[in-house]
Structure 1
C-alpha cells in the first residue's frame, strides 16, 4: 500500500496527463487521446532532447562502467591498503547529487574554477567557458556523472568477483593463469550477469537522472544539455503544459521498459545456458 500511495499512483497519474490537454494553472483538462504524443514526436526539439539524453546516458554509463570495472579488478588483486582504497572511492557515491553538481560547477567555473586555474598554471589560456559552451557543457556534465556513479558500480562488481568460487581460482592457477590473464579469461566470464545488471541499472538511472545537468547548466546553453528529465520539468513547471509533460513521460517510460525487457531476455538466456 505504501508503494502504491507514494510511487505507483503519482506515476500513473503523471502518465495519464499525456492523454489530456491541460495546464498546471487551471483545473480544466480535455481528453485528446494520442494527440499530445503525436505533436511531441513531430517536434524537432523533442528529438534534440532524445539525442542529448542518448549521448549523456551512453557515454556516462560506459565511462563509469569502464572506470568501475578497472577499479574492481585492481581492488580484487593483491595491492597494499585495499581497505583504505575501497573506503576512499566510496566518497563520491555518498555525496548528494546536488553537492556533486556544485562541486563540479566550481571546478569548471570560467573565472575562478580549479580546472582553468591548473591550465593557467601550466601555461595554457585558463579562460575556457566550459559550462557556457554548447560543445563543452555536455562533456562537463558527463564527467560529473561518471565521477558520481562509478563507486557503486565498482562495489557491485567487486562483490561479484569475490563471489567467484575458490575452485575456479585453483583450477586457473593449475593451468598457469596469472595476473591480467586470470582476470580476463577466468574472473570476468564468471561475473557476466553482474556486469550486465550493473550496466543496465546505471543506464536506467542515467535516463531518469536530473540533478547534475539541471544544477550545472539548467539544460543550456542553447538546450545542449536538455535531457528528457529536464525537458519534462520545463514543460510542466516552466510552460505549465501538463499534456506535453505527460507525453514526454510516456515516451520516457517506454524507452526504459524496452531496456528492462532486453535485460529480462538476456537473463533468461543466461539461465538456460547455465543449465
Structure 2
C-alpha cells in the first residue's frame, strides 16, 4: 500500500540532513564541553574524575574576576572608539566628502585580522617600531601593563571602524532630506539639527550596530593573542585568551570548559539584549 507523505512530514524529511549536521558539529560538541566543566580532565592524562561545581568555584574565587574586568575594558574601548570614529566619518561622507573616500576608509576592514595584528605589532615594537620612531621615544607599548590594553584597543579600533561607518552611513542615507530642510527653515543650526533630527532617526540602527560590535568584541581573540598573548602579567587576558591558555597551555580541560561555560552565559545575556532590541 502506497502512502504519500504529508507536507509536514516532507518538510521534516528535508530538514533531517541539516539537523544531523547541526547535531554533529555544534550541539554534541557544545553539550560535551559543558559536561566536561564538571570533571577534572587533562589533555595529557587519560581518564577524568567528577568534581561537581569545584571547577566553577575555583574560577569564581580566582582568575574569573580579573579576566572579566579585562574583557569588559577591552570590549568597551574597542566598541566606543570605532563607534565614535565611524559615526563622525559617516556624517562627513553623508554631507560632503567625496564618495571615493568610502573605499579608502574600508581598507582596514578588508585586511584579515591576523595581518592587521602583525602590522600593528610592528608599529608598536619597542626597538624599531614606527610609533617610537615618530615620537622619538623608546616605550615598550606592548610590554607595559599601563599601555598594552590601550595598544590592543587602538589596533582593534583601526580594524573595525569601517564596518561601523558603513552601517551608520546606510542609516543616514535613509533619512528624508525634508526633515533637515524643515529644521533649517525653523532656524535650527547644525548642532540642533543633529540632536533633534539625526539622533532620533539613527537611534535604532546605531543601537543595533553598537550592540553587535560589543558582542563580537566580547569574544574577540586574534588581535589580543597576536599582540600580547594576554600579557604582560595578564593585563590583556580576556575570556578568549584565558580559555585557550587554560586548555592548550595548561592542558586543563575541566577549568577551561568551566570558564567557557561562564563566558557563554554572559554572551547569552548580551544576545538576549540584542534580540530584544532588534524586535522592539
Structure 1-normalised TM-score?
0.88
Cα distance in 2 for residues equivalent to 1:187 and 1:114? 39
Question: Counterparts in 2 of 1:74-223, with a 5 A limit?
Answer: 74-79=92-97, 81=98, 83-120=99-136, 126-223=137-234
* Other-structure match for 2:5: none
Contact 1:73 1:183 in 2 (8 A): no
- Cα deviation, residue 6, structure 1: 3.8
* Other-structure match for 2:6: none
- Cα deviation, residue 228, structure 1: 0.8
Q: Matched residue pairs, number? A: 261
Partner residue of 1:37 out of 45, 56, 72: 56
- Stretch of structure 1 that moved more, 182-191 or 244-253: 182-191
Partner residue of 1:224 out of 216, 235, 250: 235
Cα distance in 1 for residues equivalent to 2:180 and 2:111? 36
Cα distance in 1 for residues equivalent to 2:181 and 2:126? 54
* Other-structure match for 2:36: 17
- Cα deviation, residue 267, structure 1: 4.7
Cα distance in 2 for residues equivalent to 1:15 and 1:135? 35
Aligned-residue RMSD, C-alpha: 1.9
Deviations 1:58-95 (A, max 9, x none): 1111111111111111111123x2x2211111111111
* Bigger-Rg structure (1/2): 2
For structure 2, list consecutive stretches of 5 or more residues without a partner in the other structure.
1-17
- Stretch of structure 1 that moved more, 102-111 or 6-15: 6-15
- Cα deviation, residue 181, structure 1: 3.0
- Cα deviation, residue 256, structure 1: 1.3
Question: Counterparts in 2 of 1:47-66, with a 5 A limit?
Answer: 47-66=65-84
Cα distance in 1 for residues equivalent to 2:30 and 2:85? 33
Contact 2:208 2:278 in 1 (8 A): no
Contact 1:53 1:227 in 2 (8 A): yes
Structure 2-normalised TM-score?
0.87
- Cα deviation, residue 38, structure 1: 1.3
